[in-house]
Structure 1
Amino acid sequence: MPKKNQSYGNESISMLKGADRVRLRPAVIFGSDGIEGCEHSVFEILSNSIDEAREGYGHEITVTRYSDWSVQVEDHGRGCPVDYNPREKRYNWELVFCEMYAGGKYHNGEDASYEYSLGLNGLGLCATQYAAEYMDVEIHTGETKYTLHFQHGENVGGLKKEPSTAPSGTKIHWKPDLQVFTDIRIPVEYYEDTLRRQAIVNNGLKFVLKNQNGKKFDTQEFLYENGIADHVKEMAGDDALTSVQSWQAERTVRDRADKPEYHVKVNVALAFSNKTHLTEYYHNSSWLEHGGAPDKAARNAFVYQIDSYLKQNNKYNKNESKITYADVEDCLILVISSFSNRTSYENQTKKAITNKGIQEAMTEMLRHQLEVYFIENPLDADKIAAQVLINKRSREDAEKTRLNLKKKLTSNMDITSRVAKFVDCRSKDVSRREIFIVEGDSALGACKQARDPDFQAIMPIRGKILNCLKADYNRIFKSDIITDLVKVLGCGVQVKSKANKDLSSFDMDNLRWNKIILCTDADVDGFQIRTLLLTMLYRLTPELIRQGKVFIAESPLYEIHCKNETYFAYDEVEKERFLKQLKGQKLTIQRSKGLGENEPDMMNLTTMNPVTRRLIKVMPSDATATGKTFDLLLGDNLSGRKQYISEHGREYVEELDVS
């Protein structure tokens, strides 16, 4: 082994300073150095404006997305403090834009500047400035206008100020730096989704999105006067099982007996529906993508209260198992928006919170409110209980179906005794084993004699198989041909259906073959059978195609006999090439026979011998286009198929096997 550098000593340790703390390690702050990290840097600036508005300073925030991928956030708050700070003996602009862990949101007592804040750590504004190609800041206090300019994390020109009577507010325009992030092309959908979510959890706060499109700006507005209640009502529609319920509570909690108390405010909106389900959690208006404490509280409270109702009213069948949260969630539209002045996030990206005090407060509040709701609304309670039981029993039936299917298709029993006319090979080495799927008994006989029994197996298809794009799963799995094929493959199926939630039993490790070779005649019937087989694999086991396990055995179209030699032409072009090559010699040309009519030696030479055969690998590179073609030509789109045939049918006339 090569010698490693041995000069590791006291001088080997270094410390990142200034902008390099972010520019060289952006993922530490933003969670990623890719587009997700870049998106999070935008949210850090937006969240400061939201905090101002929540404190009652400003009722509108405007976000502008420019075509050069720069961003501007403008609010009408008090204006970020940037002048001299006598306590810190430095200018505030240096602290908030150039120092990590500096800000006005660290105090939780009565002297706190913000009661509930999105930004707690004093990292976002500084980190985003450090990660910017440039940043221009314009601040109005009602008396003074301040401006700052930064480039690549460094201030240029210092703080500039002049008298101004313009309304107070802060405007920050910056461009994320491609030297920091691998991608800065934030899609407009991110802005739309983020501003819509913030409008939902900030009642009455208007968000304006301006998106530059050429020389003009497209404008969208997001405003929910009643916040999460309006959102739940919008999702539930007019035909939900229940009306929208809105609950609020405030508590003083602590995360541990020896920890300080803090305030938490919880807003809940919910409805039950048998058509739509949604669960969203927010804390201090930050969307908790991974939930954490609120999710644990919801799971506990809803299962406990609905299970108690089912037991008290004898809704369970005898010996029936208890409901799970999945049964409740399937018919629940729930949005929880909480606020606290002390928050423990899992990390800087704020995807989940871990506060024990918040979790306990939410659990107690939800249990109590659900109990009161069920007592005061017995008709709603009955409808909810009935739907949850339907979900539970459907889930259990689907699981039974899935397990039975898995047992049926992937049993470890000897497949030679379970599948009629299947001919196995001797080798147990999966890396060598090949299976030929052939047409009918006559092809089975020819291939059986022509194969190498050590590693080549034969599976005959009895007639044309079901079109798997037009049939539902129940019909598919009643087909003996298809279930026999899946049994022989051994890896199960990749199936998800609305009727049976998840019938998937797929495990690539259980595949018994290195190559799955489709071997059909070179005529119209053979091509159709091949297409139906590919359709089956495409719908039931697409991973086999993705991993390059599926092949087509290319059968010769013509046999050209010259003296004692036989030449095989696999298409018209190859036939013409042989004819030119053998010009002047006595020849006989005939269409190649079907597989079942070939002599074993001929079959081995043209189709089965790895040295002389031709295989076409079914490639996954254009799976989307292949899927669309299958859907068009074999699916239910009759008008589309008719149009395709009228436009392209003439291209295939010469290939039709008709007289």
Structure 2
Amino acid sequence: MTDEKKYDGSNIQVLEGLEAVRKRPSMYIGSTDARGLHHLVYEVVDNSIDEALAGYCKNIRMTIEEDGSITEVDDGRGIPVDNQPKYNKSALEVVLTILHAGGKFDKDTYKVSGGLHGVGVSVVNALSEWLIAEVRRDGKVYRQTFAYGIPTSGVEVVGESDHTGTTIKFMPDKTIFETVDFKYDILLNRLRELAFLNKGIHIVTEDKRVRANEDELELELASISEADSGEDDLEGFEFTDEDENGDGTATAGGKKSKKQSAIPQHDVSKDKTHDLFYEGGIIEFVKYLNRGKAVLHENPIYFEKQKDGIDVEISMQYTENYNSNVYSFANNINTTEGGTHMVGFKSALTRAANTYIQKNGLEKDGSGLSGEDIREGLTAIISVKLLEPQFEGQTKTKLGNSEVKGIVDSLVSDGLSEFFEENPKVAVAIFEKALLAKKAREAAKKARELTRRKSALEVSTLPGKLADCSEKDASLCELYLVEGDSAGGSAKQGRNRAFQAVLPFRGKILNVEKTRMDKALKNNEIASLITALGAGLGEEMDLERLRYHKVVIMTDADVDGAHIRTLILTFFFRYMPDLVTAGHVYIAQPPLYKIKKGKAEYYVYSDKQMKAKVAEIGDKGVTIQRYKGLGEMNPEQLWSTTMNPETRTLLQVTIEDAIAADEIFTILMGDEVLPRKMFIQEHAKEVVNLDI
């Protein structure tokens, strides 16, 4: 596209200054943990994506350099470097040092933009030890340097170039962030998402870091035990230490350890360079999401419409799975709380489905399908791009533009009606599955009503095997989910009965990834868990009725224990996602070894810690006991190492990336064997014990 409109310093408008960013960084990037750290990269990349949406950028490259800094390059027009009249500074300096400064507020410059609307790159600058901006524009290469958001040079001409574009290099400030260790896979997932959502844009990602302690890593991998290899690397989930001591530390085995991420320190991606280019856009996105699933129709359904300056794209495909995955985006932002585009999609889908089954006599009683029925097994992407998105909700990820609902509704309604008429075999397959889902839903409704009645607080209605606590304030109560009667017995005897409850499971709970809700609710272990928690499940879940604010999964440190833990997490993710997102789910960290020398006893949590401790105290006169299961610990040991709030370490489970989490659960727990086999073969050598 030719640059027909003027884009220079006069396009850069200023709303406010940069004063408070370093004092209150969380107000601008959400947090100063790993999530906030990665957000810095997203803000820089968003500027390049906005250039691409305006038609001036085709190529973006993001590199993690060997020193851990970030380099992001695009071939857009280049940030203007001429004088910005109001501040009498170069436009480049204004953009990088003043909040809400950028071309995004000029409707003639950018029709659509994402990110934080001009906050982004100046915030990145403010929170970086150093930042270097290079602009290729007007046949020259311009450069300006910064430290902690303050210019350390003026705009200098450092070369010539036949191309245009912007390069931003920065090193996050170690005094601001809890960690400055970028996780390549987290960045890769987001940039892949952007490549899908913006078809035709070419994004390359690369990680140049060299592992400094290669010999140590090889030793660590060589010492991975059976228990270590059973640890689940659940991409998309993040585990963080509970701050038991209130000072940023947690206590493990009687010794304090700094709060740290339990995500393995070595990224799971085998390749460190990825070329992301998807000409098919969200059609390829849906195929990517369903690549490990059996699909009902080979080619995804696709609709596209432009109206009143709003672009709408929708792609959808049905699978044989029992859960639905509908993801919505507005200006490339994942609207996890939905909004008007999601409402329009769901209502049109349900209406089009019922119109078709009634017209073709596919249902005898004529009661129709619910939205839940027709969405079973559906994977869909809804992407809207508009000039002035209005975001609502607690996390500002809910689209509020009322005009979007009608556009999406008419697009889906007309498009699906036409598709069903032109593809009757596919339509029948979809609706036969939906009608089976309806029968299952009706059966599940009866089961839910039963569990709802049982979820009243009267002790007599609670599961018989539940050893409840006496405390009635849910915010103080903990529920331990324990594997087997032996471990359950130790936990019941060792716990603090005032605020700790114990619910033992007999064997492995049902794999809900392979069954519908009605069958899941008939499973005794699952029914007992739902009843004990007291908050219901699915869309009807009410966290106000939750009886325990800490739900702790406590399983053996072996392969079977890891499997049971994954089964429970799968159930929570599919049927109780609110429980996870609200931060109520934890994983206990029982010790793997007890080391004894004389009268001194030490509890350690991995092979690596065991070897380090033996090297520290000397191996003469040392006895080492490996715990094969929780039941091998007496109640006092289990309490002091794993259940005592003063000495334990808990990992809090959060959904870091819902799309990645869905993918990993589908692979690990779904019907398709080949994807699971390939996943295990690819990542087996990369599994590292979660050392706490």
Question: If the TM-score is normalised by the length of the shorter chain, which range does it land in?
Answer: 0.5 to 0.7
> How much does 1:246 deviate?
1.7
Q: Distance in 2 between matches of 1:297 and 1:504?
A: 25
1:227 aligns with 2:300: no
2:127 is aligned with 1:145 = no
CA shift, 1:328, in A, is 2.6
Shift of residue 135, structure 1, vs aligned partner: 0.5
- Deviation at residue 146 of structure 1 after TM alignment: 0.7
Distance across 2 between alignment mates of 1:191 and 1:270: 25
- Structure 2 letter corresponding to 1:305: A
Of 230, 233, 249, the match for 2:305? 249
Unaligned runs of 5+ in 1: 1-16, 253-262, 432-454, 456-464, 511-534, 549-612, 625-659
The equivalent residue for 1:176 is 172
Alpha-carbon deviations, 1:585-639, whole Å to 9, x = none? Answer: xxxxxxxxxxxxxxxxxxxxxxxxxxxx997766445899xxxxxxxxxxxxxxx
* Ranges in structure 2 where 5+ consecutive residues have no aligned partner: 1-15, 213-270, 474-496, 498-503, 513-518, 549-563, 573-578, 589-633, 652-692
SS in 1 for 2:104: coil
CA distance in 2, matches of 1:120, 1:472: 40
**2:63 — aligned with what?**
64
With a CA cutoff of 8 Å and minimum separation of 6, indicate the structure with the bigger relative contact order. Answer: 2
Kept in 2, the 8 Å contact 1:19–1:154? The answer is no
4+ runs of 1 displaced by more than 6 Å? 347-350, 408-411, 413-416, 428-431, 470-479, 493-497, 500-508, 538-548, 613-616
1:244 to partner: Cα distance: 1.5
Displacement of 1:280 in angstroms is: 2.0
d(CA) in 1 for partners of 2:547, 2:395 = 37
Query: Over alpha carbons, which structure has the higher Rg?
Result: 1
Matched, 1:124 2:170: no
Secondary structure of the residue aligned to 1:294 is helix
Match for 2:109 among 110, 113, 120?
A: 113
Match of 2:98 in 1: 99
2:314 alignment partner in structure 1: 268
Normalising by structure 1, what TM-score?
A: 0.59
**Cα distance 1:206–1:369, how it changes in 2: closer, same or farther (>3 A)?**
same
Q: CA RMSD in A?
A: 5.0
The separation in 2 between residues aligned to 1:324 and 1:351, in whole angstroms, is 26
> Given the two structures, how large is their TM-score scaled by the length of structure 2?
0.57
CA distance in 2, matches of 1:68, 1:177: 13
1:329 aligns with 2:386: no
**Residues 44-55 of structure 1: pairs in structure 2 closer than 5 A:** 44-55=43-54
Instruction: Give me the whole-angstrom Cα distance separating, in 1, the residues matched to 2:394 and 2:456.
Output: 46
Q: Deviations over 1:173-217 (max 9, x none)?
A: 001223333333331121110111011012122211111231899
Q: Contact between 1:398 and 1:502, CA under 8 Å: does it hold in 2? A: no
Aligned pairs (5 A) from 1:163-312: 163-214=159-210, 218-237=272-291, 239-242=294-297, 243-252=299-308, 263-275=309-321, 277-312=324-359
Quick one: distance in 2 between partners of 1:121 and 1:490? 43
Distance 1:79 1:67 in 2: 26
Instruction: Call closer, same or farther: CA 1:370–1:157 in 2, change over 3 Å.
Output: same
Give deviations 1:97-146, integer Å, cap 9, x for gaps: 112222112233xxx12232225722111121112111011111151111
Q: Distance in 1 between matches of 2:49 and 2:279?
A: 16
Equivalent pair of 1:297/1:360 in contact (CA under 8 Å): yes
Distance 1:162 1:508, change over 3 A: closer
Q: Is the 8 A contact 1:30 1:348 kept in 2?
A: no
> Residue type matched to 2:302 in 1?
S
Is contact 1:494–1:503 with CA below 8 Å preserved after alignment? no
How far apart, CA to CA, are the structure 1 residues paired with 2:125 and 2:534? 47
The one-character-per-residue Cα deviations of 1:537-573 (angstroms, maximum 9, x if unpaired) are: x98999999999xxxxxxxxxxxxxxxxxxxxxxxxx
Q: Is the 8 A contact 1:402 1:503 kept in 2?
A: no
Q: Secondary structure at the match of 1:48?
A: helix
Shift of 1:171: 0.8
Q: Deviations over 1:70-103 (max 9, x none)?
A: 2111111111112223576432123211122221
Q: SS state of the match for residue 268, structure 1?
A: strand
What is the CA-CA distance between 1:56 and the residue it aligns to? 3.4
Matched, 1:380 2:426: yes
Return closer, same or farther for 1:391/1:228 CA change in 2, 3 Å cut-off.
same
Structure 1 65/360 Cα, relative in aligned 2: closer, same or farther at 3 Å?
same
What CA distance in whole angstroms lies between the structure 1 residues aligned with 2:360 and 2:61? 53
8 Å CA contact retained: 1:466, 1:476: no
**AA at the equivalent of 1:38:** L
Query: What are the equivalent positions in structure 2 for 1:587-626 lying under 5 Å apart?
Result: 619-620=642-643
SS in 1 for 2:55: coil
3-state DSSP class of the match of 1:100? Answer: coil
Alpha-carbon shift at residue 60 of structure 1 (Å): 1.8
Aligned pairs, number: 464
Q: Does 1:346 align with 2:412?
A: no
Residue 469, structure 1, aligned to residue 508, structure 2: yes
Q: Provide the C-alpha distance between the structure 2 equivalents of 1:490 and 1:377, rounded to a whole number of angstroms.
A: 41
Whichever residue aligns with residue 274 of structure 2, its letter is: Q
Indicate how the Cα distance of structure 1 residues 412 and 353 shifts in structure 2: closer, same or farther if over 3 A, else same. closer
Q: Which is further off, 146-155 or 88-97?
A: 88-97
State how far apart, in whole Å, the 2-side matches of 1:87 and 1:247 are: 45
- What SS does structure 2 have at the residue aligned with 1:21? coil
Q: Which has the higher mean CA deviation after the structures are superposed, 349-358 or 613-622?
A: 613-622
Residues in 2 aligned to 1:545 and 1:30: alpha-carbon distance in whole angstroms: 25
- Asked if the contact 1:293–1:353 (Cα under 8 Å) also holds between the matched residues in 2, the reply is yes
Distance in 2, Cα, partners of 1:291 & 1:383: 28
Residues of 1 paired with 2:530 and 2:211: CA distance? 59
Distance 1:478 1:35 in 2: 38
Question: Which residue identity does 2:160 align to in structure 1?
Answer: S
User: Deviation at 1:264?
Assistant: 0.7
Contact 2:342 2:382 in 1 (8 A): no
